[in-house]
Amino acid sequence: MRRTLWVLWTMLVTCALVLLCLSGCDPSVEDLESITYAPLSRDDGWTVSTPEAEGPDPMLVARLFYFAQRVQTIKALLVIRNGHLIAEGYFNGGGPNQSTKVQSVAKSYVSALVGIALDQGYIQSLDQKMLDFFPELEGQIRDPRKRQITIRQLLEMRAGYPWEESSKELFDVLYRGFKPSDIVDIPLVRDPGTGFDYSNLSPHILSIIVTRATGMDVLDFAQQVLTEPIGSELTHWTACWEGYRCGHAEIFLPAREMAKFGLLYLNDGVWNGDQVIPASWVQASLRSYSQDAWYYRIGKNYDDVGYGFLWWSAVAGDQPFNFAWGHGGQQITLVKEHHLVIVVKSDPLHGQHGGTPWKWEKENLNLVANFIAELP
């Protein structure tokens, strides 16, 4: 009997140690040397290199991919240094041709389109009023504060509209799909310009504004002024029930196309010598206009979480970084000081919220932040 209990106890301890190791103990040199992350050979405009040629330390990159293999919802991981693709991996059924929704990463694309529309004269000023583009709603406005909301405040998520996950009724609106009359019907939770509230309605309003200002479908405008100039593709962007593209989400992209968008921002809007997005817009977008902008602690290497023009910012260790972030842990991360772009695609967790999905999302977010924190 004692021997049986001892065997059972030994098995339990062994299993616990194995689980502990899988969840976060440091890999051995042999473990890291067995990791492969060489980019695939594809004719899509990317130049391929290696960490040995471009940096960072190959073993640091191997650690990133070692831990990525243990994240159950990750689909793709790319690292770009000095404009070269140096590491690439696909997991859990992901692949290089897989174009899936990257959720709120769409917001950062909308930001780029607002900046281009402003530069091309379709929009007069960031201080132009929201309701200038919705004359049909003027007579329905019951809250006079809404007449003061500007494009700038929508970009900064400081317009006063609420976070939809704060109530069941607003959550139902989010999944029903927005419409222009929501500008009237959804109440403000604060005076415009006085604070940050993560709002999916705000970038959707901006999508409608770009559509009405340019007279073009936002997808067509994006293809003309943004994706085609950088040799990228944007083939699907879901429209709401009134025909406007969902400014808050529902954009579909492969990982390498996300990386091109990230590299464009890393290079201050320049692609092959052409200024695709004004440099001043890129710089303004990546500043932080709100501190402590997220509601929950993400991880030990997420400090000073801020928000710009539909882009996030944070600090990992002593390294500042910016990122486009979508539900499930989708990321286009820029580490300007190190000339790095890191892309993560993951399960979009459509319709899944709460403790377990948030745990999975944090795994993807912390994977990248922990890597950044280890950069010299």
Q: Do 109 and 98 have their domain in common?
A: no
Domain that holds residue 56: 26-102+252-373
Q: Do 113 and 233 have their domain in common?
A: yes
Burial, 339: exposed, middle or buried (Cβ in 10 Å; 0-12, 13-18, 19+)? middle
Percent of the chain past pLDDT 90, that is, above it, reads 86
d(CA 43, CA 133): 42
pLDDT tier, 40 (very low <50, low <70, confident <90, very high otherwise) = very high
Q: Do 154 and 95 have their domain in common?
A: no
Is residue 353 a part of any domain in this protein?
yes
Domain CATH for 214: 3.40.710.10
The residues with which 129 forms a beta bridge, in sequence order, are 150
Question: 91-134, pLDDT tens digit by residue?
Answer: 999 999 999 999 999 999 999 999 999 999 999 999 999 999 99
CB 74 within 8 A of CB 328: no
Is residue 5 a part of any domain in this protein?
no
Q: What angle do CA 78, 79, 85 make, to 5 degrees?
A: 95
pLDDT at 283: 98
Question: 146-195, pLDDT tens digit by residue?
Answer: 999 999 999 999 999 999 988 899 989 988 899 999 999 999 999 999 99
Question: 314-327, pLDDT tens digit by residue?
Answer: 999 999 999 999 99
pLDDT tier, 12 (very low <50, low <70, confident <90, very high otherwise) = very low
Is residue 202 a part of any domain in this protein?
yes
Is residue 343 a part of any domain in this protein?
yes
Among 230, 250, 233, residue whose Cα is nearest residue 241: 250
Q: Do 209 and 294 have their domain in common?
A: no
pLDDT tier, 24 (very low <50, low <70, confident <90, very high otherwise) = low
d(CA 268, CA 245): 26
Last-in-domain residue among 208, 237, 266: 237
pLDDT at 235: 82
Question: 196-251, pLDDT tens digit by residue?
Answer: 999 999 999 999 999 999 999 999 999 999 999 999 999 899 999 899 999 999 99
Number of structural domains in the chain: 2
Name the pTM for this structure: 0.93
Cβ atoms within 10 Å of 128's Cβ, excluding its own: 16
Q: Do 193 and 110 have their domain in common?
A: yes
pLDDT tier, 44 (very low <50, low <70, confident <90, very high otherwise) = confident
Residue 69 confidence (pLDDT) above 70: yes
Is residue 229 a part of any domain in this protein?
yes
User: How far out from the chain centre does Cα 344 lie?
Assistant: 9
Q: Do 182 and 278 have their domain in common?
A: no
d(CA 215, CA 11): 68
Q: Do 81 and 201 have their domain in common?
A: no
CB 127 within 8 A of CB 269: no
